[in-house]
Amino acid sequence: MYLHQRDNWWDFRYDSSAILSSLAAVRAKQGMLLGKMNSLGFSLQDEAVLTSMALEVIKSSEIEGEILNLNQVRSSLAKRLGFDITTSVPVSRYIEGVVEMMLDDTQHYAVPMTDDRLFGWHNVLFPSGISGLYKIDVEKYRSGKMQVVSGAMGREKVHYEAPAPERVPDEMARFIAWLNEDNAALDPVLKAGIAHLWFVSIHPFDDGNGRITRAITEMLLCRADGTGKRFYSMSNQINLDKNKYYDVLEKTQNGNGDITAWLLWFLVCLDKAIESTTETLSSVLSKARFWDVHKEERFNERQRKIVNMLFDDFFGKLTTSKWAKIAKCSSDTALNDINDLVAKGVLKKNDEGGRSTNYSIIVSFPDLG
């Protein structure tokens, strides 16, 4: 018997005492992370948000076997968020649509959910009405049965069968009503975990259910954080632990109706996602640490520009000629800028000499703990 075949299956059972300590630890880490990030300057916050959101978009698609172009995703996000980036690239209409869905679920996280909003998300995932080689229902709930299967043709294994299509409208009406409720007694993080399981169990669309499930999860985590600024990525962590994700999901959907194991896994996944922020935002955090260490030093505009580029998207070795070209100045001015930064302990001259003389930045990585 599947979870959705049980009477009042949406009245989920779980052991609150078993998850209390994990929930408290995750909530504490969320608070500490937001405090650290809010202490950064606005421009560094913007960079952290851009990095985290781009990672979420890319990894949510990667879970489904779809690889998106990072530069296109960052460029689309930056443009829509009004952030300045050093380089902008042409962006495909599909990526624009996926980014649009991401921004709707995070920047409008307090807006009530509706069928039409979900249909809009579905449309941007399948603007042509085609998934792979097949035409699918777009901007409407599925009209056929839905199974999750694996294995070669003729030897397929059915992992899960979703509710019959005639049940979907009522199931979604109940889910959306609950989603929009102000559940004061339910912690917002637990609500995110329950919503994830609930929506993916209904599997209301012909395709795209996983990506929309993760979008709903992000929306509810924004509510839990009280901000649309994203500094960690659940999809990245799910992708890293994909086998365990599918395993606990299948066991819960085929279990006895108790979802404690699912919620415990969800909390562990969220905990790991927050912990990994130091690694995923290393460039942004290193830059923040650098400018804090050197806050008493004076830098001209050229120096600030190129130092920031060294943290972000500087390719190759830093030479005097490259400095002059980027900063649009003479070679003498470039050399003076570089020598000044060497004297300040910002740059160091590498071993190569003569025409191969080049420099690298001196930096230590920050600790988020």
Burial class (CB in 10 A: 0-12, 13-18, 19+), 246: middle
Q: Are 347 and 362 in contact (CB under 8 A)?
A: yes
At 54-111, the pLDDT tens digits run 999 999 999 999 999 988 999 999 999 998 776 678 999 999 999 999 999 999 999 9
pLDDT tens-digit profile of 211-254? 999 999 999 999 999 999 999 999 999 999 999 999 999 999 99
Q: Label residue 272 exposed, middle or buried (CB < 10 Å: 0-12, 13-18, 19+).
A: middle
Half-sphere exposure (Cβ direction) of 93: Cα atoms closer than 13 Å: 5
- DSSP symbol at 256: S
Q: What pTM was estimated for this model as a whole?
A: 0.82
Burial of residue 235 (number of CB atoms within 10 Å: 0-12, 13-18, 19+) = buried
Q: Which of 278, 236, 213 is nearest to 57 (CA)?
A: 236
DSSP state of 318: B
* Distance from C-alpha of 110 to C-alpha of 119, rounded to nearest angstrom: 18
pLDDT at residue 365 in the model? 42
Q: Give the DSSP H/E element, type plus range, for residue 279.
A: helix 277-280
d(CA 100, CA 369): 33
Query: Looking at residue 186, what DSSP letter applies?
Result: S
Cα 13 vs. chain centroid, distance in angstroms?
A: 29
Nearest Cα to 52, choosing from 102, 15, 118, 116?
102
Q: Look at strands 359-361 and 134-135 and give their pairing.
A: unpaired
Closest CA to 62 of 210, 204, 282, 201: 210
C-alpha distances in Å from residue 192, one per residue of 50, 140, 198, 267, 340: 22, 24, 10, 10, 51
Distance (Å, whole) CA 50 – CA 229: 9
pLDDT of residue 233: 96
Confidence (pLDDT) at 354: 66
Domains of the chain, CATH where assigned:
3-280 (1.10.3290.10), 302-361 (1.10.10.10)
* pLDDT computed for residue 364 by the predictor: 55
Q: What angle do CA 226, 234, 32 make, to 5 degrees?
A: 45
Q: Identify the residue whose tokens are 């996000």.
A: 77
| Cα(369)–Cα(263) distance, integer angstroms | 25
Q: Which long-range CB contacts under 8 A does 178-182 form with residues at least 24 apart? A: 178/10, 179/113, 179/216, 180/112, 180/113
Both tokens of 255, joined, read 């279990």
Q: What confidence score (pLDDT) does residue 368 get?
A: 41
| Whether 224 contacts 28, CB under 8 Å | no
Rounded Cα distance, 249 and 40, in Å: 37
Q: What is the mean pLDDT of each run of 10 residues along the chain (369 residues)?
A: 95 96 97 90 86 95 92 92 78 93 97 98 92 88 91 82 97 98 94 98 96 98 96 96 95 96 98 89 78 86 88 79 93 95 92 80 57
Write the CA distances from 83 to 48, 74, 168, 214, 319, integer angstroms: 11, 10, 40, 24, 29
Structural tokens at position 107: 């920047």
Cα–Cα dist 195/217, whole Å: 7
**CA dihedral of residues 289, 292, 294, 300 (deg, nearest 10):** 100
